[in-house]
Structure 1
Amino acid sequence: MLLLGLLLLLPLLATARLLWGWWMLRTLHLPPLVPGFLHLLEPNLPFYLLGLTQKLGPVYRLRLGLQEVVVLNSKRTIEEAMVKKWVDFAGRPQTPSYKLASQDYQDVSLGDYSPLWKTHKKLARSALLLGIRSSMEPLMQELTQEFCERMRAQASAPVTIYKEFSLLTCTIICYLTFGNKEDSLVHAFHDCIYDLLSTWDHWSIQILDIVPFLRFFPNPGLWRLKRALKRRDHMVREQLRRHKESLMVGECRDMMDYMLQGLRKHNVEEGSAGQLLDGHVHMATVDLFIGGTDTTATTLSWAVMFLLHHPEIQQQLQEELDRELGPSASDSWVQYKDRARLPLLNATIAEVLRLRSSVPLALPHRTTRPSSILGYDIPEGMVVIPNLLGAHLDETVWERPHEFWPERFLEPGAHPSALPFGCGARVCLGEPLARLEIFVVLMQLLRTFTLLPPAGALPSLQPQPHSSISLQVPPFQVRLQPRGPGVPGLGDSQ
């Protein structure tokens, strides 16, 4: 009887909330509203949202269940909000799933904007950029060479490259964060991350953020998520315990050491106000794994897929690498600071990131105070979604926006910049690490192998259709044909 009463109450509550929202906003000049409330069920949501701009323009509102959001679909509107008016749009919505996953917002990615959040982000970013700067690139080169040797041992057999990339990126982050690349640790964190991501992505979790009171009903998906989070937190706490027990003042073996030392220094200088806690180091570590494993592996997989479809560009890339480094695979490489020596490789990476940003809708923002975009009023507390795909396919900015055309980034003179990692105060924390990984891995992969489709069958370039915010690469395999003296090149294998 109680359950029946609650079910009858739901439509009344939804109607009351909509009427109250309409009454409060009646005097504002708001963006146009898209009819309906089941938009989250659309396959390939970023493309769907971009398609709505044909009738409504680059700024509009829509309802995701009971929640009303504003969507920005052009480079101009995203930069106006996130760069020019960044303080207005720097907040994060405080949703049930965010609170559950982020230890009550002790988190850089999901935490709301505040002075303590700024300090937390500064600590994590310093650990990433300064704490291990001297060792990061050589370490990445070493792990990538080991990866290529493992792939070489498979003797041109078809490889599920996404899985291999995800293990590689997880290994890199384990080594950078914990100073440990043991297979058992890497596989434990890898399995934990993907269990967590697949559980979070399920509709039974996504719906809690748009219809929050459903969290009071039995939900097997929510139970699975809590178990995955408990496992995650246990593993990170164990690493924190080990690092704190062996920490030596002034010595930083890895990023966790750097953050723990930075935490102590900050709290001594700041006193009791605005203190950082162990939980902040814990969640910064979680951010690095969640944000730096699947997303980078997905981008690398899209790069391989585009090069399978464009063998002429792959051959040009290999010729560029051979000119700079010689035709045989050796221990030499182009350092990231000298990446201008490989202009086509840089252009190809930029084009992959433009067309297939792994998280094209970024994470939702929330207005911290009343603001405006293109003359439309945006009230305080409004959830705002920047559709980065809209910025990257904006016909007013890009020539032939839907084509894979790396040469657009080689043309003389100024060219527009893409926003694959977002922009402004909420730009992705791991952008420098991700760009370095993509550069190093693709350089070594193309220098060592020719990428060929299995049995001549090209995989689809269409993202997996599902009701998620990401553009996940469809399952595919690739043959990695070793290059070197006496080994046929790309042109000979066709």
Structure 2
Amino acid sequence: MLLLGLLLLALLALLAGACLLWGQWKRRSLHLPPLAPGFLHLLRPNLPIYLLGLTQKFGPIYRLRLGLQEVVVLNSKRTIEEAMVRKWVDFAGRPEMLSYKLASQGYPDLSLGDYSLLWKAHKKLTRSALLLGIRSSMEPVMERLTQEFLERLRAQASTPVAIQKEFSFLTCSIICYLIFGDKIKDNLLHTFHDCVQEVMTLWDHWATQIVDIIPFLRFFPNPSLRRLKQAMEKRDHFVEKQLRWHKESLVAGQWRDMIDYMLQEVALPRVEESPGQLLEGHVHMSVVDLLIGGTETTATTLSWAVAFLLHHPEIQRRLQEELDLELGPSASGSWVSYKDRERLPLLNATIAEVLRLRPVVPLALPHRTTQPSSIFGYDIPEGTVVIPNLQGAHLDDTVWERAHEFWPDRFLQPGKSPRTLVFGCGARLCLGEPLARLELFVVLARLLQAFTLLPVGALPSLQPQPYFSLNLEIRPFQVWLQPRGMGGPNLGKR
């Protein structure tokens, strides 16, 4: 049995090598980006920063091999916008990966699905439902959930708080209320939250990632993949149960939440010029994408914001002075609507700077060319996997003054700071951007109104977890939350 397995492995390696040589022969006449040598780039710590470092030798666009897969990496704002905005049609595809197939379970997926006119209609449906929810009821709901969040924190004010976990549950609660409505029970919130955590942990596991870069390993036993599939099935069971309940209680012409709106939209008769029929499966995957994409990403950004403010207490003090001046002293102050957010310029600038330095999905999701194209004179063949290094682009010294420093004031200088790419750009722009920006604004404002953030012992590390995962993970840390207006000199000395 062992000998048979070794022979199969050797045969698969031989086939992979032959395919690689055939691909190189076919492209011999093309002017391709330079190739960085090596196969183990994915094992480098702080991968986005490592990829940015390669630009010193190879320029802002180059090729490298991740296992058996050759990819093109874009490391500057100019190259990313050239591909994703000006030539977006050529670069709007997604690669076919085993983990993507497991994540979608055969449903039409927004985040991981390939570009098509039907995909475009799917995105429009989801974005319309999201924006409708934000306009009609989201800000009051978010304000209420944030106040409940602050009450939980006040109960822990005398002890160190692992604030990442609190942020994670808060952001999951917000997205669940938006999708499922205000009738959702607390036990279901915890169930959804645990499910999201399990899916993200298994998806980021090295044993899952490795089959995407060395595909023939899928033929060997992989407990991580098996557990991921089981977690996806559990996720789908939860979503299907909610869809059934919504269909049974639906009132035509009314909607309580995003699911109600989307179910009624897909039930409308198909018009002649439509690209295809949107189905209930599209609604299912819209829900999944919003749950997975709208929980840990925003929670991680909030955690990075707290870590940076612990390192820069002078910025925290200025933020609290701004809040007190505009809204009144401490947590008893009034509130400002998100549409009037320009009244809090330093808060907006701080959020922008956190997003610039720590874009939560630093390498975005990989793109794939749907037809032959080019970027700044380099040929990019059809089917090429393209990785936009968003964090690298945000640390480009030729674009950003004091690029590696936390300096929110850069965004207070009118017309001097370029636009960040943290939510991507072009056709694949993150549809959750409006909700994420609303959450960051409301939660940070209310948190800093209510508490002064103090370190527990040593300051938290500003270096992300060293090895690559989809999100730019922050290292675990705790924080003291000193209620404002209470002085608390002993607490401040901890």
Q: Same fold (TM over 0.5)?
A: yes
Shift of 1:8: 1.6
CA distance in 1 between counterparts of 2:274 and 2:460 reads 57
Counterpart amino acid of residue 189 in structure 2: V
Map residues 32-181 of structure 1 onto 2, 5 A cutoff. Answer: 32-104=34-106, 106-179=108-181, 180-181=183-184
Equivalent residue for 2:297? 295
Shift of 1:493: 6.7
1:361 has 2:339 as partner: no
Compared with structure 1, are the counterparts of its residues 44 and 73 closer, same or farther at alpha carbon in structure 2 (3 Å cutoff)? same
Counterpart amino acid of residue 255 in structure 2: C
Equivalent residue for 1:259? 262
Shift of 1:396: 1.1
Counterpart amino acid of residue 432 in structure 2: G
Helix, strand or coil for the counterpart of 1:377? strand
May I ask how many residue pairs the two structures share in their alignment?
Answer: 491
**RMSD value, Cα:** 1.8
Map residues 43-442 of structure 1 onto 2, 5 A cutoff. Answer: 43-104=45-106, 106-179=108-181, 180-265=183-268, 267-269=269-271, 274-330=276-332, 332-442=334-444
Q: Indicate the percent of aligned positions where both proteins have the same amino acid.
A: 74
Q: After superposition, what is the alpha-carbon deviation per residue over 1:188-226, rounded to whole angstroms, capped at 9, x for unaligned?
A: 011111111111111111111112222122111111111
Compared with structure 1, are the counterparts of its residues 372 and 490 closer, same or farther at alpha carbon in structure 2 (3 Å cutoff)? farther
Say if 2:205 and 2:224, in contact at 8 Å, map to a contact too: yes
CA distance in 2 between counterparts of 1:2 and 1:118 reads 47
Q: After superposition, what is the alpha-carbon deviation per residue over 1:389-414, rounded to whole angstroms, capped at 9, x for unaligned?
A: 11100111100100000000001334
Shift of 1:311: 0.1
Compared with structure 1, are the counterparts of its residues 270 and 261 closer, same or farther at alpha carbon in structure 2 (3 Å cutoff)? farther
Shift of 1:366: 0.5
Equivalent residue for 2:460? 459
Say if 1:132 and 1:255, in contact at 8 Å, map to a contact too: no
Shift of 1:271: 9.2
Shift of 1:272: 9.2
* Greater alpha carbon shift after TM alignment, 97-106 vs 380-389: 97-106
Shift of 1:150: 1.1
Shift of 1:104: 3.0
CA distance in 1 between counterparts of 2:242 and 2:440 reads 27
The normalised TM-score by structure 1 is: 0.96
The normalised TM-score by structure 2 is: 0.96
CA distance in 2 between counterparts of 1:295 and 1:75 reads 22
Q: After superposition, what is the alpha-carbon deviation per residue over 1:329-363, rounded to whole angstroms, capped at 9, x for unaligned?
A: 23731111111000000000000000001101000
Q: After superposition, what is the alpha-carbon deviation per residue over 1:88-142, rounded to whole angstroms, capped at 9, x for unaligned?
A: 1111111121112113350110010001000000000000012451201111111
Q: After superposition, what is the alpha-carbon deviation per residue over 1:419-464, rounded to whole angstroms, capped at 9, x for unaligned?
A: 1111110011111100000000000000000000114x21111101
Equivalent residue for 2:479? 478
Gaps of 5+ in 1: none
Counterpart amino acid of residue 253 in structure 1: R
Gaps of 5+ in 2: none
Say if 2:455 and 2:479, in contact at 8 Å, map to a contact too: yes
* Greater alpha carbon shift after TM alignment, 104-113 vs 50-59: 104-113
CA distance in 2 between counterparts of 1:255 and 1:210 reads 36
CA distance in 1 between counterparts of 2:236 and 2:415 reads 49
Q: After superposition, what is the alpha-carbon deviation per residue over 1:239-287, rounded to whole angstroms, capped at 9, x for unaligned?
A: 001001111111110011111111112x443599611111110100000
Helix, strand or coil for the counterpart of 1:6? helix
